[in-house]
Amino acid sequence: MKISKLQYISQGLTAKEQKRNIRTALDQGIDWVQLRWKNAMDKEITNLAETIKIHCENYQASLIINDFVSVAKAVDACGIHLGLNDEKITTARAILGKNKIIGGTANTLEDVIQRINEGCDYIGLGPYRFTTTKEKLSPILDLEGYKNIFTQLKEQQIEIPKIIAIGGIEFNDLQAIKETEIYGVALSGLITKQPELVQTIKNILQ
């Protein structure tokens, strides 16, 4: 399954807000939705995921569930994205099977190597800058942090995996990020607030 260079991480405090934001992003051409609703109960997020899966199928978009492996399994999502303190990648792989996409968060070179060894299909590396979307924010990387990690991977002769830049990325950051060895970007606030930028962002990332 193809990993999109532009990933939308959903926002919304309620199911209604989540649905509205995701539908708007899909209407604008998003083809990868990571459903992220951290404070929801299992049943709430399962119900939402079932609805969002139908929308994603109608738009031929991939649905990735953040954190809830059981929900990804229940709704037969395209895959899962796991933070460093979430379920283990090996456990998720055993539950979901080898054909599902598994992404993992990383903040340091050591995290990236760990994620490679765990067999992640892509790595969400960040945060790029300060973001209010995430509680307990890891140290901020910025452009230099990304470049340093890529340099060290090359020095250790480790093949650079599909790395997705994440965390507080703004429109004016995209060109500079693209000029590193980054595979793609994951955006939350930018697309939620300015969904009309989706096609322009896709063109920049091509």
| 1 domain-assigned | no
How many separate domains does the chain show?
Answer: 1
| 21 domain-assigned | yes
Distance CA 63, CA 159 (A): 27
**Domain containing residue 62:** 6-205
| 45 domain-assigned | yes
Q: What is the pLDDT of residue 138?
A: 72
Distance CA 104, CA 111 (A): 9
Q: Provide the CATH number for the domain around residue 123.
A: 3.20.20.70
| 130 domain-assigned | yes
Q: What is the pLDDT of residue 182?
A: 97
pLDDT of residue 135 exceeding 90, the answer is: no
DSSP track, 175-186: HHHHTTT--EEE
Q: What is the pLDDT of residue 38?
A: 86
Q: What is the pLDDT of residue 34?
A: 98
Q: Where are the alpha helices (DSSP H) in the chain?
A: 15-27, 42-58, 69-75, 89-96, 109-118, 142-155, 174-178, 189-193, 198-205
Question: How much is the average pLDDT of 67-88?
Answer: 96
Question: What pTM, to 2 d.p., does this model score?
Answer: 0.94
| 191 domain-assigned | yes
| 87 domain-assigned | yes
Q: What is the pLDDT of residue 137?
A: 62
Strands 101-106 and 62-66: unpaired
| 201 domain-assigned | yes
| Per-residue pLDDT tens digits for 89-134 | 999 999 999 999 999 999 999 999 999 999 999 999 999 997 766 5
| 16 domain-assigned | yes
Distance CA 172, CA 21 (A): 22
Indicate the average pLDDT of the chain.
95
